[in-house]
Amino acid sequence: MNCLNNGVCIDKTETKAAHCDCSGIGYNGNFCEIDNNECSTNNGGCHVQATCTNTPGSFSCSCKEGYSGDGIITCNPVPTFSNEKNENNQAVGIGVGVTFGLLGLIVLVLLILFFLKRKVRFPLFLEKKKNSHKILDRNNKKVWKKNQGNLDPLKQ
């Protein structure tokens, strides 16, 4: 008997005729001439995110686009540049948003304080200025008088 694809020829016995043993070689048929399509059942045992490819006497598993791994046990999503960029942009956007939000809040608080201060202190400020003017005048007078008092005796 001529078994194909490394099929093992089993000699005839009293109860069985000679035949080919095709177990474990990926083929079937009387002469092991028919390839087993492993992918036809259960995706060939490949990972859910893998593609099963039938080959003569065997099959292969490869992860789909965007996934990496052995194709059988692991097929993990691959972070793409655009994903990273989007995540970065999102992070930058959040950062900028928070920064401008805080800056806006600070500016608002400062404006409120400025107007409150101005409303409360503007008259006081004027008063203070007037008083300081008076004080300055008084001081000038004092100084002047003092100077005159000091200088007058020297001149006389």
Contact region with Ca ion (CB under 5 A), list: 30-38, 43-51, 63-71, 120-128? 30-38
Q: Which of 5, 25, 32, 35 binds Ca ion (CB under 5 A)?
A: 35
DSSP, collapsed to helix, strand or coil, labels residue 77 as strand
| Contact stretch for Ca ion (CB under 5 A) within 27-35, 60-68, 73-81, 109-117 | 27-35
Least spacing, CB of residue 21 vs Ca ion, in Å: 18
Residues 79-111: b if buried by 16+ CB within 10 A, e if exposed: eeeeeeeeeeeeeeeeeeeeeeeeeeeeeeeee
Q: Are 32 and 6 in contact (CB under 8 A)?
A: yes
Nearer to Ca ion, 60 or 68 (CB): 60
CB of residue 43 vs Ca ion: minimum separation in angstroms?
13
Pick from 53, 54, 60, 68 the residue near Ca ion by CB under 5 A: 54
Tokens at residue 142, please?
């004092």
91's CB contacts (< 8 A; 6+ apart) are: none
Scanning 35-43, 69-77, 89-97, 121-129 for contacts with Ca ion by CB under 5 A, the matching segment is 35-43
Name the nearest CA neighbour of 55 among 29, 75, 30, 25: 25
Give the interface size with Ca ion as a residue count (CB under 5 A).
Answer: 4
Q: Where do contacts with Ca ion occur on this chain (CB under 5 A)?
A: 35-36, 54, 59
